[in-house]
């Protein structure tokens, strides 16, 4: 046998003679909605993703007697859903008929495969008579699909839509040789195991982090305090925490409580440390201040931080306490004997005497007068440049060669300049894409530090949603420009004279979706993509630009119009099962 050559006999048993599909091959049970069980069609159930709407089962079908209806006046993303077993890695055609009346917003009325997001028909909106819609898709690894008569679609629609004659048909495979039905055939394949082709890129595996939920704050970032720069007024006017439809807890008001008389705290809008206001505490006949509870601490573990104070000298001394129990000795105290009328940062250091998940941090004035708390921070003492040591250890085990940041849907409403400079002076915003607030404690410099700690390549997404074209170019210049450029000079002023040298850049995120901030028609978006790409390459011609892809027309038109304004295209093909 020739060196480096391995001969392998492959026996392929192919069952041929497949008949073409017909109407009888419709895999959807009760696709015409004629079979009823009470006031609902057999095999279908209402499904609400967001908003409010009504589901109807009516005798006004396109064919036969019955069809389903969806209506909403306030806006909804809802659907009639059915589940269908399918073959894996097989092509199917989903089709049906849709009628609409004054449908506006989001996608409109359409059919989609809920667990294969790229599988969806064109949407019908406005007022239209019965219109046929269809799409072709491959099941991939899915052996069951959830078919949606969808109203809204990655956003909320208003109006009324009717659906009828829904069909799912397997696309027949073509036999590679005409034979008798059921006939088997053997084939021989010779494989040269010693011959190599292009190597697999080390970047075939990567990680993605976004300012969403507990990914950044409460996840990889070590900050223990919520709303540490007082975006919300103290005290809260309602329950501070709210559970979302997905079951997550989200901050919607201040987590800080008043210590002492309730009227001891007001929000001062004159000369705030950051944002619109700063809490001002009046200390009179008894100690007064603010506190935040429900902090988790470990016995014997150190905690560090800082507090920014200003006020009347007679309001001092100020005590900052880490409290882990009800006893007089169940706390560690930092005494600040003097304060100034100007804001000053004071370091904090504590050691917990017991383990608890209900510790609290108190900032209390002991004198007579007023003082202000500009911002406060508390982290485990073993944090690594602000990141949690335990989480960093786990991320190192993942050994990802590349990390993409900051989103995700978040990036389409994110101003990267909010994350520059002194973290205590960075503005707190409402999260533009998700729920809760964004403190901007983790910005470009922190992300670059994370990548250095993990020995990973940074991959930054720019805002092509609500962001301006020129802002993307300035962001590249900030990261990669020399100190002789305006933004490179600003980077140096923020502590990093050497360029970051970011190679990989995502030009936007999921801009094909109606849920995306700044979404626009494809015909307009390709123009924006090209303008953004030109601005970015003007700042650094050596960077790699990755365009937004979505299997189908979006990718086809993007490649047709933007091929010379990209290095790669990022196809979005989601496979998810319940």
3-state secondary structure 229-257: CCCCCCCCCCCCEEECCCCCEEECCCCCE
Cβ atoms of residues 67 and 58 within 8 Å: yes
- How far apart are the C-alpha atoms of 407 and 428, rounded to whole Å? 18
Amino acid 200: pLDDT: 87
Residue-wise pLDDT tens for the chain (578 aa)?
A: 333 333 322 323 233 333 343 445 899 999 999 999 999 999 999 999 888 999 999 999 998 889 999 999 999 999 999 999 999 999 999 999 999 999 998 889 999 999 898 899 999 999 999 999 999 999 988 999 999 999 998 788 999 999 999 999 999 876 544 445 555 666 778 888 888 888 888 999 999 999 998 999 999 999 999 999 999 999 999 999 988 777 788 999 999 999 999 999 999 999 999 999 999 999 998 999 999 999 999 999 999 999 999 999 999 999 999 999 999 999 999 999 999 999 999 999 999 999 999 999 999 999 999 999 999 999 999 999 999 999 999 999 999 999 999 999 999 999 999 999 999 999 999 999 998 999 999 999 999 999 999 999 999 999 999 999 999 999 999 999 999 999 999 999 999 999 999 999 999 999 999 889 999 999 999 999 999 999 999 999 999 999 999 988 999 999 999 999 999 999 987 765 54
Amino acid 106: pLDDT: 87
Q: Beta strands 207-208 and 402-405: pairing type?
A: parallel
CATH number of the 241-380 domain: 2.60.120.260
Sheet holding 257-259, edge to edge: 257-259, 288-297, 356-365, 318-323, 331-336
Beta bridge partners of 376: 307
Task: Name the residue ranges covered by the structural domains of the chain.
Answer: 23-170, 241-380, 389-570
Amino acid 576: pLDDT: 58
- Supply the pTM of this predicted model: 0.71
- Give the pair of three-digit tokens for residue 219: 């996840």
- How far apart are the C-alpha atoms of 35 and 38, rounded to whole Å? 10
CATH 2.40.50.100 fits 23-170, yes or no: no
- Give the pair of three-digit tokens for residue 181: 């039905």
- How far apart are the C-alpha atoms of 322 and 573, rounded to whole Å? 48
Q: What are phi and psi of 63, to 5 degrees?
A: -125, 160
- Give the pair of three-digit tokens for residue 101: 């009346």
For the domain made up of 389-570, the CATH class stated in words is alpha beta
CB within 8 A of 426, min separation 6: which ones?
229, 274, 418, 419, 420, 439, 440, 441, 443
Are 23-170 and 241-380 in the same CATH fold? yes
- How far apart are the C-alpha atoms of 234 and 158, rounded to whole Å? 38
**Secondary structure class of 126 (helix, strand, coil):** strand
Amino acid 183: pLDDT: 57
Amino acid 185: pLDDT: 63
């Amino acid at each position: 046998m020739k060196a480096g050559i391995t001969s392998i006999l492959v026996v392929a048993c192919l069952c041929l003679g497949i008949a073409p599909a017909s109407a009888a091959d419709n895999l959807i049970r009760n696709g015409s909605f004629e079979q009823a069980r009470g006031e609902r069609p057999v095999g279908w159930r209402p499904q609400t993703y967001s908003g409010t709407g009504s589901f109807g089962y009516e005798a006004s079908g396109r064919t036969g007697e019955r069809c389903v209806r969806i209506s909403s006046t306030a806006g909804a993303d809802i659907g009639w859903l059915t589940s269908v077993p399918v073959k894996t890695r097989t092509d199917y055609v989903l089709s049906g008929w849709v009628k609409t009346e004054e449908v506006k917003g989001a996608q409109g009325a359409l059919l989609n495969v809920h667990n294969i997001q790229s599988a969806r028909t064109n949407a019908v909106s406005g007022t239209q008579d019965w219109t046929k819609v269809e799409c072709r898709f491959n099941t991939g690894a899915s052996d069951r699909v959830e078919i949606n008569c969808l109203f809204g679609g990655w956003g909320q629609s208003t109006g009324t839509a009717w659906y009828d004659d829904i069909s799912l048909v397997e696309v027949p495979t073509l036999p590679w040789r005409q034979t008798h039905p059921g006939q088997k055939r053997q084939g021989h394949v010779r494989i040269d195991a010693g011959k190599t082709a292009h190597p697999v890129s080390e970047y075939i595996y990567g990680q993605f982090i976004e300012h969403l939920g507990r990914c950044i704050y409460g996840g990889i970032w070590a900050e223990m305090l919520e709303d540490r720069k007082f975006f919300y007024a103290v005290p809260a006017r309602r329950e501070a925490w709210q559970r979302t439809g997905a079951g997550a807890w989200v901050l919607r008001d201040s987590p800080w409580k008043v210590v002492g008389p309730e009227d001891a705290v007001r929000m001062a809008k004159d000369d705030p440390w950051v944002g619109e206001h700063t809490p001002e505490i009046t200390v009179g006949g008894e100690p007064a201040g603010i506190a935040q509870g429900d902090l988790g601490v470990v016995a014997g573990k150190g905690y560090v931080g800082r507090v920014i104070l200003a006020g009347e000298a007679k309001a001092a001394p100020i005590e900052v306490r880490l409290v882990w129990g009800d006893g007089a000795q169940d706390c560690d105290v930092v005494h600040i004997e003097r304060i100034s009328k100007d804001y000053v940062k004071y370091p904090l250091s504590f050691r917990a005497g017991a383990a608890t998940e209900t510790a609290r941090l108190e900032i209390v004035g002991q004198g007579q007068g007023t003082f202000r708390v500009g911002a406060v921070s508390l982290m485990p003492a073993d944090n690594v440049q602000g990141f949690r040591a335990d989480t960093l250890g786990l991320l190192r085990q993942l050994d990802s060669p590349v990390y993409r940041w900051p989103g995700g849907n978040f990036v389409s409403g994110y101003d990267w300049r909010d994350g520059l400079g002194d973290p205590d002076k960075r503005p707190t915003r409402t999260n533009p894409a998700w729920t809760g607030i964004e403190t901007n404690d983790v910005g470009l410099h922190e992300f670059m530090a994370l990548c250095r700690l993990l020995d990973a390549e940074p991959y930054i997404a720019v805002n092509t949603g609500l962001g301006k074209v020129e802002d993307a170019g300035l962001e590249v210049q900030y990261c990669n420009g020399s100190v002789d450029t305006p933004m490179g000079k600003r980077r140096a002023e923020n502590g990093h004279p050497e360029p970051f040298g970011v190679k990989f850049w995502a030009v936007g995120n999921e801009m094909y979706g109606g849920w995306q901030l700044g979404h626009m028609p494809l015909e307009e978006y390709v123009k924006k993509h090209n303008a953004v790409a030109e601005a970015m390459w003007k700042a650094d011609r050596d960077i790699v630009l990755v365009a937004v892809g979505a299997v189908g027309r979006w990718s086809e038109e993007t490649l047709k119009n933007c091929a010379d304004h990209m290095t790669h295209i990022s196809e979005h093909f989601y496979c998810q099962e319940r």
